[in-house]
């Protein structure tokens, strides 16, 4: 057949029991084969936790994760091992995530042993050198130690390690936020090239919108453990519907130089996740909050194709904003 869409990973519904902190609360989302999905939110929004739940680095308290349409609960041990090869993570802090006593060859080569990808030391050496070249580092780095490298180089080593098992999906947990601004663009470009080269699916977790604007196809905006808006990257930037998304965009510097959006900036801090606000969780910081907002939790509703938002007032506010931009006759 022609023109069928392929769903690579099925709907992942992830729930978590309220223990002390409900980091992720009844989130459902799909990650499409070959896309880059950004998960954006302030620290404490649950974005990293959600990423780890999707990758099975954490187990969910409730809910299910599907991979290529199959529930992971039904996977055998062997299938789970293969899954671990397919799903890899790049950590935020290249310092903390690399063992200082291991050589680059040992670090990058470890997944090759773990997954029985190489047959011996010479094989591993050759493969590691190849991986280093792939991420733009000299092959000769393989005998050196992490502390000898800059942040950007260490992040490349972390990426080489993540690529070692030939994954299908890469999760970047704030992959460039620990790096100098001048190096960030290089690492973002590298990730984009690798995605093309290996046909990867990517999930990028980020606290700001600036980094993901040019690399993501879709954006999920999280607030206090829930997705409040999910849309294409263009829609998120051109016509954000949720007041929180609008505030995030308005407070991000340099994104739209010269353009002032008629949107209030974020007010106050994020509430402590252990004492969750009633109704809409954003109501304590939202300039548009009403009594309904304080009492009734807005569902994440589908507002158009591939577009979801959780706000009681999105359409009314949208109308007001649009008419405010039209000059009177």
Given the rule CB under 6 A, which residues bind ligand SF4? 243, 280, 282-283, 286, 288-289, 293, 298, 311-313
Smallest gap from residue 34 Cβ to ligand SF4 (A):
32
Smallest gap from residue 277 Cβ to ligand SF4 (A):
9
Smallest gap from residue 279 Cβ to ligand SF4 (A):
7
Q: Which does 159 bind (CB under 5 to 8 A by kind): Mg ion, ligand SF4, none?
A: none
Q: Which does 282 bind (CB under 5 to 8 A by kind): ligand SF4, Mg ion, none?
A: ligand SF4
Shorter beta-carbon distance to ligand SF4: residue 146 or 298: 298
Shorter beta-carbon distance to Mg ion: residue 24 or 280: 24
SS3 call for 223: strand
Exactly one of 45, 48, 97, 165 binds Mg ion (CB under 5 A); which one? 48
Tell me how far apart the alpha carbons of residues 179 and 29 are, in angstroms, rounded to a whole number. 29
Shorter beta-carbon distance to Mg ion: residue 48 or 88: 48
Give the position of tokens 């709907």: 11
Q: Which does 231 bind (CB under 5 to 8 A by kind): Mg ion, ligand SF4, none?
A: none
Q: Which does 283 bind (CB under 5 to 8 A by kind): ligand SF4, Mg ion, none?
A: ligand SF4
Tell me how far apart the alpha carbons of residues 326 and 322 are, in angstroms, rounded to a whole number. 7
Q: What is the DSSP letter of 311?
A: -
Question: How open is the CA angle 286-288-293, to the nearest 5 degrees?
Answer: 80
Smallest gap from residue 48 Cβ to Mg ion (A):
3
Buried b (16+ CB within 10 A) or exposed e, 45-71: bbbbbbbbbbbbebebeeebbbbeeee
Contacts 24+ apart (CB under 8 A), 100-106: 100/145, 100/146, 100/147, 101/145, 102/145, 102/146, 103/142, 103/143, 103/144, 103/145, 104/128, 104/132, 104/141, 104/142, 104/143, 104/144, 104/145, 104/146, 104/157, 105/142, 105/143
Shorter beta-carbon distance to ligand SF4: residue 172 or 279: 279
Smallest gap from residue 298 Cβ to ligand SF4 (A):
5
Shorter beta-carbon distance to ligand SF4: residue 39 or 311: 311
Part of the chain binding Mg ion (CB under 5 A), chosen from 45-53, 115-123, 126-134, 267-275 = 45-53
- Beta strand pairing call for 36-40 and 201-206: parallel
Q: Which does 48 bind (CB under 5 to 8 A by kind): Mg ion, ligand SF4, none?
A: Mg ion
For residue 144, what are the CA distances in angstroms to 88, 137, 198, 204, 304? 23, 12, 27, 29, 52
Smallest gap from residue 42 Cβ to ligand SF4 (A):
15
Residues touching Mg ion, count (CB under 5 A):
1
Tell me how far apart the alpha carbons of residues 263 and 183 are, in angstroms, rounded to a whole number. 31
Smallest gap from residue 261 Cβ to ligand SF4 (A):
16
Write phi, then psi, for 107 (nearest 5 degrees).
Answer: -65, -55
Shorter beta-carbon distance to ligand SF4: residue 89 or 293: 293
Q: Which does 94 bind (CB under 5 to 8 A by kind): ligand SF4, Mg ion, none?
A: none
Q: Which residues bind Mg ion (CB under 5 A)?
A: 48
């Amino acid at each position: 057949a022609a023109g069928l869409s392929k769903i690579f990973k099925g709907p992942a519904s992830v729930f978590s029991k309220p223990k002390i902190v409900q980091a992720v609360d009844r989130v459902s989302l799909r990650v499409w084969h070959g896309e880059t999905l950004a998960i954006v939110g302030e620290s404490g929004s649950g974005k990293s936790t959600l990423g780890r739940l999707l990758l099975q680095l954490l187990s969910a308290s409730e809910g299910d994760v599907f991979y290529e349409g199959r529930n992971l609960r039904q996977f055998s041990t062997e299938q789970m091992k293969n899954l671990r090869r397919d799903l890899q993570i790049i950590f935020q802090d290249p310092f903390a995530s690399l063992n200082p006593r291991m050589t680059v060859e040992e670090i990058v080569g470890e997944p090759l042993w773990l997954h029985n990808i190489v047959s011996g030391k010479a094989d591993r050496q050759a493969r590691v050198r190849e991986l280093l070249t792939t991420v733009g580092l000299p092959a000769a780095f393989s005998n050196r130690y992490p502390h000898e490298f800059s942040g950007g180089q260490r992040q490349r080593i972390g990426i080489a390690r993540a690529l070692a098992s030939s994954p299908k999906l890469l999760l970047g947990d704030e992959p460039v936020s620990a790096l100098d601004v001048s190096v960030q663009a290089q690492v973002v470009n590298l990730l984009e090239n690798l995605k093309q080269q290996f046909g990867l699916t990517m999930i990028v977790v980020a606290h700001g919108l600036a980094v993901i604007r040019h690399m993501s196809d879709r954006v999920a905006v999280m607030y206090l453990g829930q997705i409040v808006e999910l849309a294409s990257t263009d829609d998120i930037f051109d016509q954000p519907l949720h007041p929180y998304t609008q505030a995030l965009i308005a407070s991000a510097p340099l994104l739209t130089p010269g353009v002032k959006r008629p949107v209030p900036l974020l007010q106050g801090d994020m509430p402590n996740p252990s004492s969750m606000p009633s109704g809409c969780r954003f109501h304590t910081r939202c300039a548009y909050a009403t009594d309904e907002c304080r009492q009734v939790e807005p569902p994440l509703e589908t507002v158009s194709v591939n577009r979801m938002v959780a706000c009681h007032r999105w359409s009314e506010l949208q109308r007001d904003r649009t008419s405010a931009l039209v000059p009177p006759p």
